[in-house]
Amino acid sequence: MKRLIIALAAASVLAGAAAPVFAGPVSGAVIGAGSGALIAGPPGAVVGGVIGAVVGGPSFYHHHRVHYGSDHRRYYMMHNQRQYY
């Protein structure tokens, strides 16, 4: 049991650091596996990891700095382009 927990922790750390491109599914799987392991042990880790990968990771709100144009319209800059509200 102790070896399984250590192996699961090592695998989740490697999976979380391996591919930032897949941040949503990977972080969801890691969070789901961790919470499942705490609640229901190894079967919970597997089920939680699968559900977390399907649902995805946390989404964060990104605040944009608001600008006002000469026409008094509000906009923010994204990828060097004006995005109007």
pLDDT tens-place string over residues 60-83: 656 668 888 888 899 888 888 888
68 phi and psi angles, rounded to 5 deg: -120, 125
Spatial CA neighbour of 21 closest among 65, 61, 57, 62: 57
For the question of whether the overall pTM of this predicted structure is more than 0.75, the answer is no
